[in-house]
A and B are shown apart, each in its own frame.
Chain A
Amino acid sequence: MPYRLKTWLLPLLAAMTLPSLAQAHAILEESTPPAGASVKPGPLDLHLRYNSRIDRSRSRLTLIRPDHTRDTVAIAPDGPPDVIDAHLQLPPGAYVVRWQVLAVDGHITRGDVPITVTAP
């Protein structure tokens, strides 16, 4: 794809369909750990349950670190159709897990789960 098309057109088109959070179609019904929770450092199993069937292979989890750097988090390939599982290893600090899911009806929704990892 030409450079201009990729850097210009795709983000523009992307912007055109993402709904604002206040009007989300798929909603996060349950999060473990819950949004705003404080957890101990070390391995962390993240479990997100939605109100819709989710297309996991076309969804994305992004970890925003305390220094605002970002990493893509691998989504577990198996599980119930409405659930996204992931495994994290986090040192102390304030993190945000940003999720973007594709419901199987084609609606794309995104949201944040802030998590604080406390010092041991």
Chain B
Amino acid sequence: MDLLVDLFGYLSIIVHGLTILSQSMALGGALFLAFLARPLAPRLRQSAIAAGTARIAGYAAIALLLSEAATVALQAAVLMDTVDLGLWDVLSAGFAIAGMVKIVAAASMAAVLLGMRERAPVLPLLALTLIELAAATLTTHAAARLDSRFWLLVVEGLHQLGAAIWIGGIPCFLLALSRVRDGAAFRLVGARFSRMSMIGVACILVSGITMSLLYIGSWQGFYGTAFGVMVGAKIVLFLMLLALGGMNFLLVERLRADPATSINRLRRFAEIEFGIGIAIFFAAASLTSVPPAVDLTQDRVSWHEIVERNTPQWPRLSSPDHDSLALPALQEKLDQEAAANKAKPQVAFIPGGGELPPRNADDIAWSEYNHHWAGLIVVAVGLLALLNRAGLRAARHWPLMFLGLAVFLFLRSDPEVWPLGDIGFFDSLRDVEVLQHRCFVLLIVVFAFFEWRVRATSWTNRKAALVFPLLCAAGGTMLLTHSHAIANVKDQLLIELTHTPLALAGIAAGWARWLEIRLNPRENPVVWQIAGWVWPACILFCGLLLLGYREA
């Protein structure tokens, strides 16, 4: 069972991401119902928006209940198994009490929202929202801090409230837009949600800046630690959201002068705002697993080391021999020793066993070679996609190059496992890094296949066209939570520093392509054109980043 420790440690980050997402949707939905759907129902002359909002928030509360219950159960199981505590001893711990309060509050919210729908009483709902929020802050970094604990708890609560109002409310906003028909109603809903979003943004800004000052503390903590780099990624995603939200605000204002203004862009922007919001939630989940930057006083990366590592060099286009890698070399040595002693040979590395595999200079060269060839393929994909966008019809087969990349990665990304190494395919999946690489390969194959069929054949399935952008954005989001099993904390961070821009570019590419497909080009010709050029440019940028990748 110990072999699954790292694997499930990673999965717990995913569960935490789902908890943040469902919490934001449940609380955001309750606030949307209380401050928009219910008060505006008489003026909109319909209750369907309020009923739909209650349904979204209610099901999100059930999802929150389940994910929080899973989290408390897992933590309790750990303590019962490893510290020999009884169930009562564990459930009386502060985190467990906070978790159970969250579960009870979520269950009550679900019962009220799904039982009474649009007639759900506002005051009890707001009280449950507050209880949920207060309990949630007690399981954040702030609860365990030694200094400024009270104020940190307040700003953590404010941060989660802001995310719920803005990002968590978007599904209900989209529902509302799909239910109203005239310009005045669009403006009514849009203007009210814009005001609510502004409050959300203000909460996020105030709390985010405060937490950055207290948890990061210095510029070196910002760029020289995993915590700081992940906060940087969240800031970039937040700025993307702000830009989209700002443009939506301007469009809502235009509705005042011209009620006939198309809201196609408003809806499409809101869709990708929600998608980028999900990426932020998973970045936040991965932040909880690392110590705040102010606490990590050693093993920080200096600016000089970052510049030195990222100075462009000629790509490595020839591979070292597989037998010269550290693990095959070590296994051969162990085999020889065992043969000399007439004993059963020891296994050099057990995936998921908690030990990190040995690495030598050839392992680094092997990895750089992989990244550089992958970079060449992705650069070619980006260029062909740009040429296709410019009108070169023959370049439409560019997705097939991704299939070549998938085969290349499947064969070479983890040389210690099948087919090149001795470790079997299923055994290798106990290693978090191998599992993530296999998932990325699968993602690439699926989105390449769908995108090629959409472009090169007469496949007219509109939903199939959305597979590429969705999986591209999902891959970028997954990459934000990707970690490398390297013992040296500094080397690990220097690699994260190159993978984080890759993840952000992947997310931007996915949602730009989504926009290109979903926008009406006749009503939004400029934005449609920009989106159409942005995503291939992002792919090209990913290729160039891979070409510049170095591990030493």
CB proximity of A73 to chain B, nearest CB, Å = 12
Cβ of A118 < 8 Å from any Cβ of B?
A: no
Q: Which of B2, B83, B98, B141 contacts A59 (CB 8 A)?
A: B83
Q: Does B95 lie at the interface of the complex (its beta carbon under 8 Å from any beta carbon of A)?
A: yes
Q: Which residues of B contact A27 (CB under 8 A)?
A: 291, 295-296
- B78-A107 in contact (CB<8A): no
Chain B residues contacting A51 (CB-CB under 8 Å) are 146, 291-292, 295
Decide yes or no whether A20 CB sits under 8 A from chain B.
yes
17 extra A-B contacts, CB within 8 A, seeds A26-B144, A100-B82, A108-B82: A13-B74, A14-B81, A16-B9, A17-B9, A17-B74, A17-B77, A19-B12, A19-B289, A29-B295, A51-B295, A53-B145, A58-B79, A102-B83, A104-B95, A105-B141, A106-B75, A106-B99
Could you tell me how many residues of chain A have their Cβ less than 8 Å away from some Cβ of chain B? 37
A22 at the interface (CB under 8 A from B): yes
How far apart are the CA atoms of A23 and B290 in the complex, in Å? 5
Interface residues of B in 58-83 (CB under 8 A from A): 71, 73-75, 77-83
Cross-chain contact A105 with B139 (CB below 8 angstroms): yes
With the chains together, A58 CA to B309 CA distance in Å?
43
Is B364 located at the chain interface by the 8 A CB criterion? no
Q: Contact at A105–B144, with CB atoms within 8 Å?
A: yes
Contacting pair B485 A22 (CB below 8 A):
yes
* B208-241 interface with A by 8 A CB criterion: 226
* Residue among A18, A20, A24, A102 making CB contact with B291, cutoff 8 Å: A24
The distance from the CB of B265 to the nearest CB of chain A, in whole angstroms, is 40
Q: Can you list 27 A-B pairs with a CB-CB distance of less than 8 A?
A: A10-B77, A10-B81, A11-B1, A11-B81, A13-B78, A14-B1, A14-B78, A14-B82, A18-B8, A20-B6, A20-B10, A23-B289, A25-B291, A26-B291, A52-B146, A55-B93, A55-B94, A60-B82, A81-B146, A82-B146, A102-B93, A104-B143, A105-B138, A105-B144, A106-B93, A106-B96, A107-B144
Q: Can you name the residue of chain B whose Cβ is closest to the Cβ of A81?
A: B146
Q: Give residues 71-92 of A contacting B (CB, 8 Å).
A: 81-82
Taken together as a complex, chains A and B put the C-alpha atoms of A27 and B99 apart, in Å, by: 23
Rounded to whole Å, the gap between the CB of A52 and the closest CB of chain B is: 4
In whole angstroms, what is the CA distance A100 to B98 when docked? 21
In the complex, chain A residues whose CB is within 8 Å of the CB of B290: 23-25
Instruction: List residues of chain B with CB under 8 Å of any chain A CB.
Output: 1-2, 4-12, 71, 73-75, 77-83, 85, 89-90, 93-96, 98-99, 138-146, 226, 288-292, 295-296, 354, 432, 483, 485-487, 489, 492
A37 CB within 8 Å of chain B: no
Contacts known (A20-B9, A52-B144); A13 close to B73, Cβ less than 8 A: yes
Residues of B close to A16: CB separation below 8 A:
4, 8-9, 11-12, 74, 77-78
Residues of the B chain whose Cβ atoms lie less than 8 Å from the Cβ of A82: 146
Interface check A35, CB cutoff 8 A? no
Given contacts A27-B296, A104-B94, contact A15 B8 (CB under 8 A): yes
Contact A15 B146 (CB under 8 A): no
| Contact call A15/B95, Cβ cutoff below 8 A | no
User: How far is it, in angstroms, between the C-alpha of A25 and the C-alpha of B13 when the chains are bound?
Assistant: 12
**How many angstroms between the C-alpha atoms of A51 and B7 in the bound complex?**
26
Name which residue of chain B comes closest to A27, CB basis.
B291
- What residues of A have a CB within 8 angstroms of the CB of B99 in the complex? 106
Query: Known: A16-B11, A23-B9, A27-B291. Is A108-B93 also a contact (CB below 8 A)?
Result: no
A81 to B142, CA, bound (A): 14
- Chain A residue, CB-CB nearest to B149: A53
User: For B295, what are the chain A residues with a Cβ–Cβ distance below 8 Å?
Assistant: 27, 29, 51
What is the CB-to-nearest-CB distance from A100 to chain B, in angstroms, rounded to a whole number?
Answer: 6
Q: Which of A20, A24, A100 has the most CB of B within 10 A?
A: A20
- Give the distance in Å from the alpha carbon of A18 to the alpha carbon of B9 in the complex: 5
State A104–B92 Cα separation when bound (angstroms): 12
Question: Chain A 53-65 against B: per-residue CB contact (8 Å), 1 yes, 0 no?
Answer: 1010111100000
Chain B residues, Cβ within 8 Å of A107: 144, 288-289
